[in-house]
Amino acid sequence: MKLAAASRGFTLVELTIALVLMAAIAGLLYGSLSLAARSWDGGEAKMQQVGDLRTTQTYLRAQIAAEYPQRMFKIQGFPLLFAGERDEMRYAAALPSHVAQGGVYYFRLAVVRDGDRSLLVQQRVIPDVNALEMPDFPSDADRSVLAEGIAEVRIAYFGRPAGSADSVAPTWLDRWDDKQRLPLLVRIDVKPEKGAAWPTLVAEPRRAPEVGCSQWDPNLHTCTKAG
């Protein structure tokens, strides 16, 4: 009797309980692995976002600081290649030689839609400074994607309104209409589609607008002869 009891197998109830426990353990393991995978993917996405933020801000700060006061030689008043709106900015600057051929380019910084993606892009063209009209950006203009998943960009310009005297205190403006002077500061705020807004970027164009002139009227703040 003792030998028969010792060799007896598991009952159906015991097997059922064992299977239920194994299923529960497997479910817990799967949930833990799924959570770990989601955390990993979220961490990678966050690192990518932080990387885009730092790279883009470092690049824009350096480029705006080195902004070039390029003028149009055949247009009356020799206007600067600069235009500032609330949601885009156009300006002249050099491009690193490893990106494209050297020289001064005309850039447009804005958020554009590309299918289901929203991108912060920088378009560029080589301006014809002897043209009779300001250059524009065709749909096939070269461009660089600075960041993806961007909902909007807001840009402000610190300086005096166009035509103002030096006695007028500079202030932040939503658009820049002065064709003779560059803003004293440029402020850029970027809002991603997901997550917190980027830290505000403030950059200072370091070149005076009279650099692009052979004759500059300091009283009227106007270029009377370009070259």
Q: Which residues pair with 110 in a beta bridge?
A: 88, 121
Q: What is the pTM of this model?
A: 0.74
CB contact at 8 A, 190 and 179: no
pLDDT of 48: 53
| Among 123, 111, 127, 134, CA closest to 68 | 127
Q: What is the pLDDT of residues 53-99, one digit of tens each?
A: 788 889 899 999 988 889 999 999 899 999 999 999 999 998 765 55
Question: CA 107 to CA 125: how far, in whole Å?
Answer: 7
Residue 39 phi/psi, 5-degree rounding, is -65, -40
- Residue in this structure with the two tokens 């494209």, named with its chain if needed: 100
Question: What contacts 27, CB < 8 A, 6 or more positions away?
Answer: none
- Asked if residues 201 and 154 have their Cβ atoms less than 8 Å apart, the reply is no
Q: What is the pLDDT along the chain (227 residues), one digit of tens a residue?
A: 454 555 555 676 666 777 777 777 766 666 665 555 555 444 444 445 556 678 888 989 999 998 888 999 999 989 999 999 999 999 999 876 555 566 789 999 999 998 889 999 999 999 999 999 999 999 889 999 999 999 999 999 999 998 888 889 999 999 999 999 899 999 999 999 988 899 999 999 887 767 678 888 888 888 888 86
